[in-house]
Amino acid sequence: MSNQLARLFPSTLLLTLGLLPFSAQAQTSADGTVGTVVTSTGTPFTITGGTTSGSNLFHSFSQFSVPAGGEAFFNNNPNIANIFSRVTGGSTSNIDGLIRANGTANLFLLNPNGILFGANASLKIGGSFLATTAESIIFKDGIEFSANNSQTSPLLSVNIPVGLQFGTNPGDIQAIGTGQKIITSQDPRIDPLSIAPLVRTPALANLEVAPGRTLALVGGNINLQGSALRANNGRVELGGVGSGFVGLQPIPFGWRLDYAGVSNFQDITLAAQSAVDASGFTSGGIQLAGRQIQLSDSSIVLMQIFGDAPTANLQLTATELIDISGSAPNSLLPSTLGMENLGAGRMGDLIITASDLVLREGGGIGITHAGSNRGSNVNVEIANSILLSGESPFNPFEYSSFGVTNLGSGDGGDVNVTTRNLTLENGAAIGSITILGTGSGGDVIVNATESIRLRERGTSIDSTINSSTLGAGDAGRIFINTAKLVIEERASIGTSSIASGSAGEIAINASESVRISRSDGLSAITSAVNAGANLQRLKAILGLPDVPSGNGGTIRIATPYLSVSGLTSISAGNDGTGRAGDLEIYAGSISLNDRASLTAASFSGEGGNIVLRVSDLLLLRNGSGISATARGRGTGNGGNLDIEAKFVVGVPGENSDITANAFAGNGGNIQITTQGIFGLKFRPQLTPLSDITASSQLGVNGKVVVNQLNTDPSSGLTELATGLTDPSDQVQSGCSASQGGQFVVTGRGGLPPNPNARLQNDRAWSDIRDLSEFRGEGTEVEGQRAESINIQGFEANSWRMNEQGNVELVAVNPQFQPREQSLQCDGKPL
C-alpha cells in the first residue's frame, strides 16, 4: 500500500508546483498551418483567422500560454459551435490568465506536452471547455486533427468529434489554486448533531464553465493542488489516461467521456482543499477515471441539487486504488465524495469502482436526501479490499464512513458494497440514517466473499455497520453475506430507533463462521428501540417523544459456527412500548462464553421470540445466557424460546441460564428439543446455578417443555427366533452325498481328488530318483528349532450373538486367519 501511495506524490510534481514560475515572456503564437492569426497589444492576445469547416473552427499554435493578468481572446464568428486548437511546438501550455471566446462555442485545447493552470487562470466561454494532452482529435468521418502531425488536411471535418487519441507518453495536466471555500453552516465541533448542508461560496472556483456545460481535463496525470473546478448545472470530467482512445459522446450538458478504449491509465490527485463541483438546480454529473485516485487535505467532489429535474451520477473508476483521507488544519470538513439532494428531483447514484478502496482520517463518501422522491444509492464495487479507518485529527466527530442520510418524505437510497475483504476500525462506519422525515431509511447490503472485520472504537462511536431512524420513518435493513464475520472490541452491527419508526431487520449469512468478542457490556449485533438518557438532547432538538413506540427488528444469522465471548450480546431489544424483535439463529454449533448472551428483551412491550436451530452443540459457559425476557417492572410478556440442538451443555456452578421471564406480564414458553441437556436444570426461579426458567413475579409462569430425543439401543438389532432348531437343519444341503466314500490314510496315490471333497494338504506320491548330478554345488543348512509362540492378550475388537440372543464383545487375534477358504460345490468360496 505504501508503494501505491508514494506514486501519487512524484517528486517531479512537487518541483513543478513549488518551483516552476510562469514565464513573464510566455506568449501565444501561430504555427502557420491553418491560417491562425495572433495579434497582441501587451499581454492580451487576440486570435482570429483559422480554418472554418461547417460550424467547426480550427486553430494551430506553435506555443500557447497566457501569463498572469493576460488574456487569450478567440474572436470567433458567433455561429461557430466548436473551436479546435492544437499546440505543435513541443512546449507546455502555462495558463495563468483569462481564456475567452464569443458566443456559445465549445473550446478544445490540445497539447500533448502538458498543460498547467495557475491560480489566476479563468474561463469566459459560452460552451464547454476540454483541455487534453492527447495527440489528436478524431472525427466521425475519420479525419484526424493531430498536434504531432501538423500538416494541413486537404479538408478539415465538418462533423462533430468522436474521440481523443492518446500516444504512449502524454503530458500531465496540473491546476494550482488557493483551496476551495466550501463550509458547513454550523461548526460540528460546537454542535456535533448538526445536519446542515454544505455552503458553497462565490469564491469557490478558479476554473468554471458556463451553466449547463462540461468542464473536462483529460491528460496523463491529473494533479489539482488547491484548485477548484466548477460546472454549475453542468458536468465535470477528469481522466488520467496513459494511452489509448477516449470516446466523446454529446449530451445536453456538453460531453460525456467513454474510457472503454483506454489501454492504461494514469493517476488523479486532489490535494490542498481542491474541489470538483457540479451543483445547481440540475447536474450532468461528475466522472473521474484513472489508475489511482486520491483526495486529501479536505478536498471535495460535490453535487448539490436544488431543483426538481433528474440528475446524472457521480462516478469514480480506478484500475488500482481510491484513497480518500484527511482534513486540512484550517478546514472543518474532511476529504469527501458527496451528493446532497435539497430539491424534489431524483438525483443520480454515487458509484465507486476500483481494485482497492481506503478511507482514513475522516475521509467520507455520502449522500444526503431531503426530497419526496426515493433517494440515491451508494454503490461501491471493489475487487480486492476496503479499509475504513480513523477519524479526522482536527475534528473527532468526523470519522471515516460512507452511507446515506434521509431527511425527506421519500425513502432513502441503499448502500451496496461488494468486495473480497472489508475492514472497519477506529470508529469507521457504513450506514443509513433517517432523520426528521417520514420516509424509511435505505438498506445496507454488504457482500464480502472472504471476510468482514470490525474492530476498535473511535472517540465518539464504535466501528459499525448501522441503520437508524430518529423519526417516524422506519430504519433500513442490513444484509451481510460473507465467509468470515469478526466483531472485536468496541465494534458493532446494528439497527435502531428512538422514535415511532421501527428498527430494521438484520440478516447475516456467514458460510464459515461468526466470531464476536468484546467486554464493555454493549451489544455487538443489535436491533433495538432505545430510550437512554444520553439521547435526551437529541430528542429535544428533533422534537421526539420521551418514550419511543417503534418495534424492534428481527435478527437472522446463518453460519456453521457462532462464537460470542465477553460481556456482550446479540440482542433484539426494546426500551419503549413496542414489541421487541425476534432472534433467529441457524448454526452447526453455538458457543457462548464469559457472560455472553442471546436476548430478545423488552421493557413494557412484548418480549421477542428466540429460535435456535443447532445441528450439533449449544454450549453456555461462565455466566452466559439465552433470554426472551420482559425486563424491569413493565407489563410486557416474556417472549418464547424454541431451541433445537443435538446437545445443550452448561456447567452447573457457572450460572449460565436460559430464561423467558417477566415481571407483571406472563412468562414466556420454553421448548427445547435435544438428545441431551447437561449442566442446566429447570427451576421455578433463577438461582446461582445454571437454570432454565419461565417465571413471572406477578403474572402467570410460562411453560418449559423438553423433548428428549433418547436413542433406543435395540433399534438397530434384528429380532431373532426364540425356539431351538435341529442342528441338522443348519447343514448345507447344496451338495449331494458321496456314494461309497472311504477314509484312506495313504493319500490319493496320484489320483485326482474327489470334486466333492475338501482340499487336503497331503502328498501321496514323490519322485525318489537321484537328481544330484543335475544339481549345482549346494550348502547344507542346519535346521533350527521353531521359536515358541508368545500368546498375547487382545482387547475386545468384535462381537457375536450368544445362545440367549444377546450381544457379546469378543477378542479376535487378527494374526490367525484361515489360509484358504472353503468351497461350495461349484468351486466358489463360501
pLDDT in tens, 390-399: 877 777 778 8
Cα separation, 335 vs 397, in Å, equals 14
Q: Distance from first CA to last CA of the chain, Å, rounded? A: 72
pLDDT tops 90 at residue 454: yes
Given the C-alpha cell 477378542, which residue does it identify? Answer: 811
Q: Worst-scoring range by mean pLDDT, 434-438, 528-532, 591-595?
A: 528-532
Q: Which three cell numbers stand for residue 423?
A: 475492514
Q: Which amino acid is at 3?
A: N
Largest CA distance in the chain: 144
Do the Cβ atoms of 440 and 410 come closer than 8 Å? no
DSSP secondary-structure letter at 540? H
pLDDT category at 780 given cuts 50, 70, 90 is very low
CB atoms within 10 A of CB 84: 25
Residue range 502-514: average pLDDT?
95
DSSP per-residue letters across 364-401: EEEEEE-SSSPPPPEEEEEEEEEEEE-B-SS-TT-BSE
Q: State the burial class of residue 348 (Cβ atoms within 10 Å of its Cβ: 0-12, 13-18, 19+).
A: buried
CB atoms within 10 A of CB 249: 11
The bridge status of strand 293-296 relative to strand 268-271 is: parallel
Given the C-alpha cell 430504519, which residue does it identify? Answer: 475
Residue range 121-134: average pLDDT?
98
Q: Which amino acid is at 412?
A: G
| Beta bridge mates, 53 | 56
Instruction: Kindly report the pTM of this predicted structure.
Output: 0.81
CA angle 81, 83, 84 (to 5 degrees): 135
> Between 431 and 10, where is the model more confident?
431
pLDDT category at 806 given cuts 50, 70, 90 is low
Q: Supply the pLDDT for residue 724.
A: 52
The bridge status of strand 523-529 relative to strand 491-497 is: parallel
Cα separation, 533 vs 543, in Å, equals 15
C-alpha separations of 750 from 581, 740, 741, 763, 768 in Å: 93, 19, 17, 8, 14
The bridge status of strand 625-627 relative to strand 657-659 is: parallel
Do the Cβ atoms of 257 and 218 come closer than 8 Å? yes
List the one residue out of 37, 19, 248, 31 whose CA is nearest residue 130.
248
DSSP secondary-structure letter at 541? H
Cα separation, 438 vs 474, in Å, equals 8
Cα separation, 521 vs 61, in Å, equals 72
Q: State the burial class of residue 792 (Cβ atoms within 10 Å of its Cβ: 0-12, 13-18, 19+).
A: exposed
**Beta strands in 390-443, from DSSP E residues, in sequence order:** 401-406, 415-425, 429-434
pLDDT tops 90 at residue 622: yes
CB-side neighbour CA atoms (13 Å) of 708: 6
Q: What is the CA radius of gyration of the chain?
A: 41
| Beta bridge mates, 693 | 659
Distance of alpha carbon 511 from the chain centroid: 15
**Beta strands in 637-771, from DSSP E residues, in sequence order:** 641-649, 657-659, 670-674, 676-678, 681-682, 691-693, 704-708
Cα separation, 556 vs 568, in Å, equals 17
C-alpha separations of 77 from 49, 103, 381 in Å: 10, 8, 47
Q: Under 8 Å CB-to-CB from 384, ≥6 apart: which residues? A: 355, 356, 419, 420, 421
Residue range 481-505: average pLDDT?
90
Given the C-alpha cell 459457559, which residue does it identify? Answer: 621
Q: What whole-number percentage of the chain has pLDDT above 90?
A: 53
Residues 46-64: tens digit of each pLDDT: 999 999 999 999 999 999 9
Cα separation, 157 vs 163, in Å, equals 13
CA angle 293, 294, 300 (to 5 degrees): 110
Q: Under 8 Å CB-to-CB from 690, ≥6 apart: which residues? A: 620, 650, 651, 652, 653, 654, 655, 656, 657, 679, 680, 681
Q: Worst-scoring range by mean pLDDT, 302-316, 427-441, 697-711, 751-765?
A: 751-765
Given the C-alpha cell 486529501, which residue does it identify? Answer: 296
Q: Under 8 Å CB-to-CB from 245, ≥6 apart: which residues? A: 138, 163, 164, 165, 166, 261, 262
Do the Cβ atoms of 345 and 317 come closer than 8 Å? no
pLDDT category at 750 given cuts 50, 70, 90 is low
pLDDT category at 722 given cuts 50, 70, 90 is low
Q: Supply the pLDDT for residue 768.
A: 57
> Between 754 and 84, where is the model more confident?
84
- Name the helix (H) or strand (E) containing 539: helix 536-542
Q: Supply the pLDDT for residue 2.
A: 39
Q: Which amino acid is at 748?
A: R
> Between 280 and 521, where is the model more confident?
280
CB atoms within 10 A of CB 537: 10
pLDDT tops 80 at residue 337: yes
pLDDT category at 411 given cuts 50, 70, 90 is confident
DSSP per-residue letters across 614-660: EEEEEEE-SS-EEE--B-TT--PPP--EEEEEEEEE--GGG--EEE-
> Between 306 and 186, where is the model more confident?
306
Q: State the burial class of residue 617 (Cβ atoms within 10 Å of its Cβ: 0-12, 13-18, 19+).
A: middle
Greatest mean pLDDT among 286-300, 370-384, 805-819? 286-300
Q: Supply the pLDDT for residue 152.
A: 57
Q: State the burial class of residue 154 (Cβ atoms within 10 Å of its Cβ: 0-12, 13-18, 19+).
A: exposed
Q: Supply the pLDDT for residue 821.
A: 47
Q: What whole-number percentage of the chain has pLDDT above 70?
A: 74
pLDDT category at 820 given cuts 50, 70, 90 is very low
Do the Cβ atoms of 451 and 483 come closer than 8 Å? yes
Averaged confidence pLDDT in the chain: 82
Q: Under 8 Å CB-to-CB from 563, ≥6 apart: which residues? A: 513, 514, 515, 516, 517, 590, 591, 593
Q: Which three cell numbers stand for residue 606?
A: 412484548
DSSP secondary-structure letter at 533? G
Cα separation, 444 vs 492, in Å, equals 14
Q: Which three cell numbers stand for residue 222?
A: 491529473
The bridge status of strand 71-74 relative to strand 98-101 is: parallel
Greatest mean pLDDT among 40-44, 251-255, 534-538, 763-767? 251-255
pLDDT tops 60 at residue 609: yes
Question: Strand, coil or helix: what is 729?
Answer: helix
Cα separation, 398 vs 300, in Å, equals 14
> Between 11 and 588, where is the model more confident?
588
Residues 154-184: tens digit of each pLDDT: 568 889 999 999 999 999 999 999 887 665 5
CA angle 335, 339, 341 (to 5 degrees): 145
Residue range 525-539: average pLDDT?
66
Residues 344-363: tens digit of each pLDDT: 888 999 999 999 999 999 89
Q: Which three cell numbers stand for residue 563?
A: 462464537
Q: Which three cell numbers stand for residue 229?
A: 473546478
List the one residue out of 100, 97, 54 whose CA is nearest residue 74.
100
Residue range 499-527: average pLDDT?
90
Q: Supply the pLDDT for residue 770.
A: 60
- What is the 3 state secondary structure string of 70-135? CEEEECCCCCCCEEEEEECCCCCEEECCEEEECCCCEEEEECCCCEEECCCCEEECCCCEEEECCC
Residues 93-123: tens digit of each pLDDT: 999 999 999 999 999 999 999 999 999 999 9
Q: Worst-scoring range by mean pLDDT, 582-591, 696-705, 770-779?
A: 770-779
Kindly compute the dihedral angle of the four CA atoms of residues 608, 612, 617, 623, in this order, to the nearest 10 degrees.
0
Cα separation, 607 vs 637, in Å, equals 6
Residues 1-49: tens digit of each pLDDT: 434 333 333 333 333 333 344 443 458 999 999 999 999 877 789 999 9
pLDDT tops 70 at residue 210: yes
Residue range 632-642: average pLDDT?
72
Q: Supply the pLDDT for residue 191.
A: 41
Residue range 204-233: average pLDDT?
94
